[in-house]
Structure 1
Amino acid sequence: MTLAKHWKYNNGEDIVVSNLKGLAHSNPAVRLIPSEKIIFNPNSDTTQKVTLISGGGAGHEPLHAGFVGENLLDAAVSGSIFASPSTKQIMAAVKTKSDKKKGTVIIVKNYTGDILHFGLVAEKAKAEGYNVELVIVADDVAVGREQNKMVGRRGLAGTAIVHKILGSAVNDKTADLKSIAELGRVVNDNLVTISASLDRTSVPGRTAQEIEFTAEDEIEVGLGIHNEPGHRVKPSPSIDELVNDLFKKLLSPKDEERHYVDFDLEKDDYVLLINNLGGTSSLELYTVTEHIVRLLPFSKKPKRILISDFVTSLSAPGFSITFLNLSNISKSDVKFSESQILEFLDTPTNAPGWKPKSYTSEEWEQDIDYVESPLKDKSVVTSSLKVDADAFERSLKHSLNKLLKAEPKITHYDTIVGDGDCGETLAAGANAILSELKKNGEFKKKLSDPVATLATITELVEDSMGGTSGGIYSIYLTSLLQNFQNFDELTVKTFGEAAYIALYDGLFKYTRARVGGRTLVDTLQPFVDTLKNSNNLEEAVKAAKDGCDNTKSLEAKFGRASYVDSSKFKDEEGGVPDPGAVGLLALIEGFTETSPQ
C-alpha cells in the first residue's frame, strides 16, 4: 500500500489555521480567532440561551468548526491533527461566547486527551463563576467492555447527532442548562456506531512507514477515527455480508461485550445516520446506503436517514453506521418528546458542515414509490425484410465474442490515451446483447427480421453503454435502423447504401469527427465509403483495418484523447491505435468472418 499524496504547503504553515481561515472566507456568518483556532458565531445571543461549545483534534472535518452556525454550535475549538486543543484554547472559547447566567454545555468526544483538557477547563470556568456542564459522546460499539474498562467507548459519528439536537434544543424557550445537558446525555446513551474501511488514512507530514495500511482484499471493521486499528477481515466480504455483520455488532443482544443499547426491532422508532469517513465517493456512499436500507432488520422504516461526511478521518475510504433509538429517549425523564427531537434534527442551519436537507415530518412519513418508465410499453418495430436467423445469430455471437476477447487490449490502449473505460463500455454492450440471446425469448424470435433485430440491439446498446462510445453507437444504429426500412430486400448493395446514409445524414450531424481525427470514425468511414462504392465486403473490411491501423500515427482531434500529450501515443511499439477504432474493427471483422458452426 502506498501513502496517499498531500499538497505541499508553505514551509512552517499551520495547516489547521489555514483550514479555519479558508472556512471563514467562505462563511460570512462566523468569525475566527486564529491564535486560538476558534471559530464562533457572533450573531448568536448567548445571553438569551444556553451556549453550546465543542471541539477536538483536526482531521475530522466538517466536525467541529463546520458545525458552527444557527441552530448548531456557538463556538468550536480545534487542536492539531488528531490532537486535543489546549486548555488555553478551550478557555478562550468559553470566554468568547459563554454567559455566566445562562450557562454553557461543552460537548466532547470520549478520548483521553479531550476529556482531560475540556474537563479541566470546565472546572476552571466554574471556579470563575461560569455555569458549565460537560456532555461526553461515547457511541462506539467496536470497543468491548472488557477490552477497555478504563476509557470506555469512543466518540464517533454520533457526535454530529448530539450537536444538531442540542444546537436546536437550546433555542426552546423552556430549555435551561440542566435540561440541555440531560438531553445530550440521554441522546448519547441511545447511540450506537460502528465503522468499516478499505484502508487507513494518510496524514499530512507523516511517511508511509509510520502508518500501518490495510492489505489488498482486506477491510477493517471497528477502526477508530485517528487510525486506531480495527478487526481485519480477509478476504473482503461483499457489501451485503459486511452490512449484515455491522448490524449484528450494532444491535444483537447476544453480544454482551458490545450490547450497549436495547432496540426492539419490531416496535422502536429510530434515526439512521450514514457517515463518510472522508474518502468514499458520493456514488459509492449512496450505493452503500441502498444496501443498508434494504437490509435493515427493523420492522419500521427509519424516522430520518441522514447521509453525509459528518465526522471524518481525513481521507479514510470507509463509512460508519449510527442508530439513535428514539423510543428509548421518549421513555426517559427528559422534557423533550420524540416529535421535538425530530424537529431539532429538521431545523435548518447555516452551518456549512451540516449538509442534510430539511424536510417536514409529513414528507418523511411518505413511502418511496419507484415510478415505471414511460418507455415501458413501446411498439415493436418490424419489417418484411428476411434473413437466415441461424446464420445471423452465429455471425452476431462471433462478432461480440471477438470484441470481448479484444477488450483487455482495448482497455490497455485507453488507459494510455484516454480514461480507461472504452473497453469496459464496449464489453457492457456486447454482454447485454449476448445475455438477451441466451434468454431464448422474444429477441430470438426476431432474428429473421433484421429491422426488428436491429431495433432490439439499439435498445440494449442505449441501456448498457454510456459515455461517448455509447452515444455514437446508439445514434448510428438508430439511423441505420430507419434506413433499413426504406428497402424491400437486404443485400450487400442495399446494406451499403443504408450504412452510407446513416453515417452522412445521421451520425455526422451530431459529431465533427471524420477520418484523420483518431476516433472510431477512422474505422467506420472507410468501411462505409468502400462498401458503398464497391459493393465488395472484403474490400470494405480491408479499408476499415487500414483506417484503424493509421490511427497509430495520428494526432487526436476529438474526445478525451485530444487532451492527452501526443507523446503517449508512441508508448507502445509501433504506436498506440485508437481504442474505439480497434473495438469497432473487432465487431466488423467478427461479423464478416466465417462463423464457427
Structure 2
Amino acid sequence: MSAKHFINDPTHLVLSALKSITLTNPTTALDTQNKILYLRPDAAKPQVSIISGGGSGHEPSFAAFVGPGLLSAAVAGTIFASPSAEQIRRCILQRVEKSKGVLVVVMNYTGDVLNFGMAVEKAKAAGFEVEMVVMADDAGVGRSKGGKVGRRGIAGTVLVHKIAGALAASGAALKDVYLVAKVVAENTVSIGSSLSHVHVPGREAGEEDELKKDEVEIGMGIHNEDGSERATTDLPGTVKTMLKYMLDQSDKERAFIDISKSDETVLLVNNLGGVSVLELGGITTEIVNQLGSDYGIKPVRILSGTFMTSLNGLGFSISLLRLTDAGVGKPLLELLDAPAEAAGWAAPIKTSTWTKPPTETREASQDAEVESKPSNISIDPAQASKALNAALDRVIKAEPDITRYDTVVGDGDCGIGLKRGAEGVKQHLGKSSSVKDAAQFVDGITSVIETDMDGTSGALYAIFLNALANGLRQQSSGESKPASPAIWAKALQTASESLSSYTPARPGDRTLIDALSPFVEELTKSGDVSKSAQAADEGSKKTKGMKASLGRTVYVGGSGYEEVPDPGAYGLAEFFTGLAEGSR
C-alpha cells in the first residue's frame, strides 16, 4: 500500500477532480458548494433524469458518467463517504430536469441508501415523481455474512447507469426507465479481488492488515472492506475462484443468479485503479478464456477498462449481465450500444459539442424552495414545545450512557450525534412558538435534524420525520381539526412503513426499531403516550444480550452486545420517556 500522493488535501482533491470533468466534457457543469456534477440544460431534450453518486474515490464513477445518453447528475461525498441528504435534495430539486420524472440509482451501502432515500422522500413529499433503485451485485458477500444488509454494490452498477440512461434519452417514461434499471440490477453479478489495500489521502498511514507478497484478497470491497478469503495463487487461480463465486449454482451462499451457456451475456472487466492497461488486457483474456472453457459462456459484448475504482486499488473486478427481455420495447443490448457523450464512457465527444460554446447553466438562485404545505391538523405549539423540551432534555442528560454503550458495540458517536440533534431542536423550538399546523411544526424540526445530525442515525430520523409530516398531510381534510392521539398514531404508522423501505431493520435486529415499533403499536392500540413510552423502554431493555443483525457488528463482530442495550434504542426510549413526562 502506497501512502504517497501528489495531492494530500482530500477536500481540494475531490473538488479539483470534479472540476476536471467540466474541462473534458462541455455538456457538464459543477455546483461546487454541493459537489454536484450535472448536465447543462441545453445539452439534451427534456427526459427522465437519472441521478447517482456516492463517496469519492471511485472515479470515473460517478461524475464522469454525466452526459447525454447516460447520467443527468452525480452527487459526490468525501472520499469513501456518502454525500449528505441535503446535497442530494438540492441535486433533485435544483440541478436536473424534473418534468418527466427522476430515477435515482444508488449502491447498497447504509449511508448511501439512507441519505439518497431521505432526499427521495423529500422530493416525493414536494409532489415530484421520483423512483430509486438500489444496486447489490457483489458475490463476495455471501448470504450468511450479508444477512439483512445484503450484498454490496460494485462495478456492475455502471451497466445500470448506461442502459437506463440510453432508455431515458430515447424519451421513455419513468415507469419504463425504472423497470429496465431494476431488470439490469437483478440480472447482474460481480466480484472483485486485489493484491493490496489502498491509502486515503489526508489520513495517517496506520497499521494496516496488509497482504503478504504472494497473497490476493478475493471479494475485497471498494472501500478496503475485507474479502471472502485470502489465497496464495496466480492469476488463473484467482479468476477460477472469482468465477466460481459468481456462477457455481451448488454454492447456496452465492448462487444469486443462474447464468447458463444458453444465455446471452455482457462481460465487464473493471480496473480498480492501480492495474496497468497492459496487465488488464492479460486479465481480460484470462477471464474470457475461462468463461468459455469452464462454463461455455461466450459474452456477446466485452467491456474492459476503468469504470469504478477504489482509488489506486491494485485489483480488478468481473461483472456479468444476463441479457433478458425487460419489457420496455428495446433490447438491453441495443441500449448498451447506444451512444453516450460522457467522459468516463468509451464514446467520443462529438465535434459539434466541442465547437458549440456553453451558453446556459441551471442556477440555484432561479429555483424556488419547496413550500411547506399545511395539513389543517392543529396543535398547541406551547404544549408541544413543553413536551418536546422535556424529551430532548432527557436525551441530552443520557448522552454519557449512550456514548458508553456505543463505544462498547459501535464507533462511539451515537450519543454525541443525538445530543447535537437534541440541542439543535431545542434552539429551534424557541423560535417556532407560533407554528400551529402539525405537519409544518414537524417540517421545522426535520430541517434541524437534516442540518445538525449526521451519520446513520441522522439519516434514519430525517427519513422518519419527513414521512411523519407526509402521514399528517395524508389525513388532511377541508376543515381544521386537532391532532388527536389517533391522528398521530396513524401518521407514525405511515412513517414506520416508509422507513422500513429504506432499512431492513425490524424488531429483534438490535436497532432503534426495537424502541420505535412498540411505541407506535401501543399508541395505535391505546392512545396513551405514557403506556407507549413504557413499551419503548421495555423494547430497549430487551436489546441487552440481543445479537445485532444490522450495522457495524455484522462485519466486525464482538461480544459487547451481551453487556449493554443498543445505544440507538436506548436513546430513543429515553426520548419517549421524557415526552410522556412532558405531556402530563
TM-score range, shorter chain: 0.5 to 0.7
Q: 1:8 to 1:184 in 2, by over 3 A?
A: closer
- Note if 1:353 corresponds to 2:344: yes
* AA aligned opposite 2:336: L
- Note if 1:222 corresponds to 2:219: yes
User: 145-154 or 108-117, which moves further after superposition?
Assistant: 145-154
Contact 1:3 1:208 in 2 (8 A): no
Q: 1:157 to 1:12 in 2, by over 3 A?
A: closer
Alpha-carbon separation, structure 2, partners of 1:43 and 1:320:
34
Partner of 1:466: none
Contact 1:51 1:97 in 2 (8 A): no
Offset of residue 143 of structure 1? 0.9
Q: 1:13 to 1:107 in 2, by over 3 A?
A: closer
Offset of residue 207 of structure 1? 2.6
Alpha-carbon separation, structure 2, partners of 1:269 and 1:324:
8
User: What stretches of structure 1 of length at least 5 have no aligned partner?
Assistant: 359-597
Q: Could you tell me which of 108, 113, 116 is aligned with 2:114?
A: 116
Alpha-carbon separation, structure 1, partners of 2:142 and 2:230:
18
Identity %: 44
Corresponding residue SS for 1:121: helix
Alpha-carbon separation, structure 1, partners of 2:251 and 2:297:
23
Offset of residue 302 of structure 1? 0.8
* AA aligned opposite 2:343: P
* AA aligned opposite 1:335: V
Q: Could you tell me which of 190, 208, 228 is aligned with 1:231?
A: 228
Contact 2:192 2:316 in 1 (8 A): yes
Partner of 1:335: 328
- Note if 1:5 corresponds to 2:4: yes
Corresponding residue SS for 1:241: helix
How do 1:124-163 residues align onto structure 2 when only pairs under 5 Å count?
A: 124-163=122-161
Contact 2:89 2:123 in 1 (8 A): yes
Corresponding residue SS for 1:146: helix
Alpha-carbon separation, structure 2, partners of 1:30 and 1:57:
20
* AA aligned opposite 2:243: F
Partner of 2:286: 291
Offset of residue 213 of structure 1? 2.0
Q: 1:210 to 1:163 in 2, by over 3 A?
A: farther
Partner of 2:518: none
How do 1:263-278 residues align onto structure 2 when only pairs under 5 Å count?
A: 263-265=259-261, 267-278=262-273
Partner of 1:472: none
User: Structure 1 length as normaliser, TM-score?
Assistant: 0.56
User: Structure 2 length as normaliser, TM-score?
Assistant: 0.57
* AA aligned opposite 2:250: K
Alpha-carbon separation, structure 2, partners of 1:258 and 1:221:
14
Q: Could you tell me which of 298, 307, 315 is aligned with 1:301?
A: 298
Offset of residue 22 of structure 1? 2.2
User: 27-36 or 17-26, which moves further after superposition?
Assistant: 17-26
User: What stretches of structure 2 of length at least 5 have no aligned partner?
Assistant: 350-584
Contact 1:50 1:170 in 2 (8 A): yes
Offset of residue 120 of structure 1? 0.6
Partner of 1:555: none
Q: 1:148 to 1:48 in 2, by over 3 A?
A: same
Partner of 1:465: none
Alpha-carbon separation, structure 1, partners of 2:168 and 2:271:
27
Alpha-carbon separation, structure 2, partners of 1:149 and 1:254:
19
Contact 1:271 1:303 in 2 (8 A): yes
Corresponding residue SS for 2:193: strand
Partner of 2:565: none
Partner of 1:448: none
Alpha-carbon separation, structure 2, partners of 1:49 and 1:21:
25
Which structure has the bigger radius of gyration? 1
Corresponding residue SS for 2:115: helix
User: 22-31 or 245-254, which moves further after superposition?
Assistant: 22-31
Offset of residue 45 of structure 1? 6.9
Q: 1:244 to 1:13 in 2, by over 3 A?
A: closer
* AA aligned opposite 2:70: L
Partner of 1:585: none
Partner of 1:252: 248
Offset of residue 95 of structure 1? 1.6
Q: 1:70 to 1:323 in 2, by over 3 A?
A: same
Contact 1:99 1:130 in 2 (8 A): no
Alpha-carbon separation, structure 1, partners of 2:129 and 2:76:
22
Offset of residue 357 of structure 1? 7.8
The aligned length equals 347
Larger RCO (alpha carbons 8 Å, 6+ apart) = 2
RMSD over aligned Cα atoms:
1.9
Alpha-carbon separation, structure 2, partners of 1:118 and 1:53:
10
Alpha-carbon separation, structure 1, partners of 2:265 and 2:218:
23
TM-superposition CA deviations, 1:470-516 (whole Å, max 9, x none): xxxxxxxxxxxxxxxxxxxxxxxxxxxxxxxxxxxxxxxxxxxxxxx
* AA aligned opposite 1:345: L
* AA aligned opposite 1:3: S
Contact 2:27 2:40 in 1 (8 A): yes
Partner of 2:208: 211
Partner of 2:310: 313
Alpha-carbon separation, structure 1, partners of 2:123 and 2:304:
36
Partner of 1:279: 274
Offset of residue 36 of structure 1? 0.4
Contact 1:44 1:74 in 2 (8 A): no
Alpha-carbon separation, structure 1, partners of 2:342 and 2:231:
40
